[in-house]
Amino acid sequence: MFKSFFIGGFECSTHRGRDGRRHDLIAATRHERFALEDFKRLKERGISVAREGLRWHLIESQPERYDFSSVQPILRAAQETGVQILWDLFHYGFPDDTNPFEPDFVYRFAQFACKFAEFLKTETGGETPFVCPFNEISFFTYAAGERGFFAPYEQKRGRELKPKLVRAAIEAAKAFRSVFPAARLLQIDPVFHIVPPSDSWEDWEKTEKYRNAQYESWDLISGRLQPELGGSPDFLDVVGVNYYYYNQWILAQEPEMPGERIEMSDPRYRPFREILREVYERYRRPIFIAETGTENEVRPAWLGYVCEEVRAAMYAGIPVHGICWYPILNHPGWDDDRYCPNGLWDYPCERGTRIIYQPLAEELAHQQQLFAEFFAERKPALAKAV
């Protein structure tokens, strides 16, 4: 499906955080300044695909007036290097004169998607794009509508917000496909596993209900739930799953609060391959790992674990099409600007040079070889299937 199995994810969040400050991780990591150098680094490591995000607040700083100059350096660098871009239309941020609770939000977002599609068609000559209309509807609902630590800072309004976001994603997908009928739609959300705090039937029932909520956005997009929102199986084109080391926990007494994390050594920890199998059996759509990663010296071990689980899933017939290390660059933290050593490369010097984290680079090369052997072994079966 993609130009390479491994994908580099460039952190592109643009939300307003707890303190009201606008984040711009593309600028903070200086990726906009050194996009060409960053893509060359990807290619040198055998990665030909990148996840990128639009900064809507810069593109539409005035209603219905669009300026894509913030996109051009990244797009042109991708064209020069041959890197394939997977575009996020929305990665948490929106212009200051609207928000997802406003009546005009769906229209504004759909118009924005259409204008970007027109810009992209002019710039690329019509090459079929991959776009994620709305990154992590479930998490954004939690952050902006349930707990209130992202703008618009609402609390206990998640049940109201999620259908609005789904409607916006659907209308944006329709608008984009009005320009690119063959565009591939990436519907990206976190996957997780939780266990009850006790063996009581009440705790098991509450936990299972909360665990199944991870599928709600995909069910709405596909029209399984609330078909009046306009959902259709056609919009659930490619399922992107985001999975991190903290995505398994014990349900807290208040389900909306973070629970105690389940360690991988705990027998209650569910293998990632089983989570992938459950997603695939539910939707029967192509899958890719849209985000995975961790910090510090455990980065190589985590990549090794995820890759091992993905290969096991693929041996079982689950169509996984790629793994995105996210983020590929170290970056400042959302809440306190702390140094987050979770990438393959560090902050740049003034000339754009970034120091690579060698242990992760070595593990990446090792996993690339293992997947090359896997694909070579499976080639006859895959050819027969096609």
Model pLDDT for residues 197-255, shown as the tens digit of each residue = 999 999 999 999 999 999 999 999 999 999 999 999 999 999 999 999 999 999 987 76
Do the beta carbons of residue 11 and residue 331 sit within 8 Å? Answer: yes
What Cα–Cα distance (Å) separates residue 380 from each residue in 27, 317, 321, 372? 45, 14, 17, 14
- Under 8 Å CB-to-CB from 160, ≥6 apart: which residues? 101, 145
- pTM for the whole structure: 0.96
The angle subtended at Cα 242 by Cα 290 and Cα 210, nearest 5°, is 150
Do the beta carbons of residue 25 and residue 334 sit within 8 Å? Answer: no
Q: Once rounded to an integer, what is the mean pLDDT over residues 162-179?
A: 98
Select from 269, 181, 169, 314 the least CA-distant residue to 229. Answer: 169
- Under 8 Å CB-to-CB from 21, ≥6 apart: which residues? none
Q: What is the architecture, at CATH level 2, of domain 6-385? A: Alpha-Beta Barrel (3.20)
Domain boundaries along the sequence of the chain: 6-385
Residue 383: pLDDT above 70?
no
The angle subtended at Cα 297 by Cα 365 and Cα 248, nearest 5°, is 95
- Under 8 Å CB-to-CB from 334, ≥6 apart: which residues? 13, 15, 17, 23
Proportion of the chain above pLDDT 90, given as a percent: 94
Residue 258: pLDDT above 90?
no
Predicted confidence (pLDDT) per residue in 279-303, tens digit: 999 999 999 999 999 999 999 999 9
pLDDT (0 to 100) of residue 386: 42
Which token pair is 246? 């903290």
Predicted confidence (pLDDT) per residue in 319-364, tens digit: 999 999 999 999 999 988 999 999 999 999 999 999 999 999 999 9
Predicted confidence (pLDDT) per residue in 83-110, tens digit: 999 999 999 999 999 999 999 999 999 9
Q: Residue 301 and residue 113: Cα distance in Å, rounded?
A: 38
Peptide bond between residue 327 and the one before it cis (omega within 30 degrees of 0):
yes
